[in-house]
């Protein structure tokens, strides 16, 4: 079932294209990428060549100028791949990092980098999170001091997706130590190899194993003033604006994961026999799966409806916060029961559901923890 009430034929054509890529390119090879701890660059270039990285961007840079509904379709289908590390590698690039370059970058910055970003030749990361500042962006401690025609950055970033292998980094730093925290953060565009900027280490994670994640360090890192993204002191607002898109995308990805888990589990319980009959014959199991299927279908429609409202230019902060909380918790509930119904096989590393359950756990944490999202919702009730 798709979101045909909210999606056009063009969106469904995109779905078919992404689904073919998932079946032909990701599923057969991604187990090796899990072992390697990264998605090969040639695969990302293929995704760029197919247009997946330019969905929301103008034709002049190689994009297709679609809307939030197209992004939701991409995220959902990548989530259905059962390899969420691949999905998040692509979605951070398309909808969480390069957005800062396009939205706030100068014409010169866009012209220099956006064609390569859309083609998959230049992969992006966004460096906001720190050990003491995740959803609390005002708590950023990395500083940027103006020195002539450059800024000098000092500090560290943590849990940065694509952080090891990215080419371009959109980095948040404090350019003022006095005044309101919301007017103290500035975004900078850094290229890999900038003196004073290093990848401190690649981080080992519970899940998303083929998504590279890093700790970054800035030690007297000189960044040309022309690399500021947007206006000095306006980075907080840029981050907050894009959080809405990020959370919608993560919600769509989570529902793709949940649907894939249900599909796998339905196939399993209809063939796996216990006590002389398939598990599907056990009323408790089939009714539990039926209820989960109903809840996932409802949440998916909420995601589609919110994407359609966003595409129409409506304010959807409350709804996006609801989606992030709802979908992040629901996908984990689905994974718990689906693994349970796989029995001992569900606990084995050779089982897709075991990997999927590990991957899903972060959906209630990354991009805004459930508790933070519920506070955002509560403010708007």
Distance CA 58, CA 114 (A): 10
3-state helix, strand, coil split of the chain in percent (to 5) is 55, 15, 30
Distance CA 246, CA 14 (A): 20
Cα 257 to Cα 128, 280, 356, 358: the distances in Å are: 26, 22, 8, 12
Cα 246 to Cα 46, 153, 196: the distances in Å are: 23, 26, 29
- Name the token pair of 97: 């990092």
- Contact between 153 and 79 under an 8 Å Cβ cutoff? The reply is no
Distance CA 249, CA 96 (A): 9
Distance CA 84, CA 21 (A): 15
Distance CA 165, CA 188 (A): 18
The continuous run of DSSP H or E covering 34 comes out as: helix 30-36
246 noted as active-site residue: yes
- Name the token pair of 27: 């599923």
* Residue in 246, 257, 319, 376 annotated catalytic: 246
Ramachandran area for residue 65 (φ above 0: left; ψ -120 to 50: alpha; else beta):
left
Distance CA 168, CA 149 (A): 21
Active site residues: 246
């Amino acid at each position: 079932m798709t979101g045909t009430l909210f999606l056009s034929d063009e969106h469904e054509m995109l779905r078919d294209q992404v689904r073919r890529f998932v079946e032909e390119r990701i599923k057969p090879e991604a187990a090796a990428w899990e072992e390697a701890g990264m998605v090969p660059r040639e695969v990302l270039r293929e995704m760029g060549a197919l247009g997946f990285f330019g969905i929301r961007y103008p034709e002049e840079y190689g994009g297709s100028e679609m809307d939030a509904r197209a992004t939701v379709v991409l995220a959902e289908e990548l989530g259905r791949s059962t390899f969420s590390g691949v999905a998040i590698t692509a979605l951070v690039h398309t909808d969480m990092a390069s957005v800062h370059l396009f939205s706030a970058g100068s014409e010169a910055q866009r012209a220099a980098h956006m064609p390569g970003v859309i083609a998959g030749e230049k992969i992006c990361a966004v460096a906001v999170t720190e050990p003491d500042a995740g959803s609390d962006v005002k708590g950023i401690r990395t500083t940027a001091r103006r020195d002539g025609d450059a800024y000098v950055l000092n500090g560290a970033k943590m849990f940065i997706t694509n952080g090891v292998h990215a080419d371009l980094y959109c980095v948040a730093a404090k350019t003022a130590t006095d005044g309101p925290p919301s007017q103290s953060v500035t975004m900078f565009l850094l290229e890999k190899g900038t003196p004073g900027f290093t990848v401190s280490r690649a981080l080992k994670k519970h899940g998303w194993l083929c998504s590279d994640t890093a700790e970054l360090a800035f030690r007297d890192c000189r960044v040309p003033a022309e690399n500021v993204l947007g206006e000095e002191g306006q980075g907080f607002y840029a981050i907050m604006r894009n959080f809405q898109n990020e959370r919608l995308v993560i919600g769509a990805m989570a529902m793709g994961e949940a649907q894939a888990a249900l599909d796998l589990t339905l196939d399993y319980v209809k063939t796996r026999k216990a006590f002389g009959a398939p598990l599907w014959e056990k009323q408790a199991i089939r009714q539990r799966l039926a209820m989960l299927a109903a809840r996932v279908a409802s949440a998916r429609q909420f995601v589609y409806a919110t994407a359609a409202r966003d595409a129409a230019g409506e304010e959807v902060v409350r709804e996006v916060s609801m989606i992030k909380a709802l979908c992040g918790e629901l996908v984990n509930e689905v994974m718990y029961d689906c693994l349970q119904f796989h029995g001992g096989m569900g606990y084995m590393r050779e089982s897709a559901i075991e990997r999927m359950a590990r991957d899903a756990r972060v959906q209630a944490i990354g991009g805004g923890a459930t508790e933070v999202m519920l506070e955002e919702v509560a403010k708007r009730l």
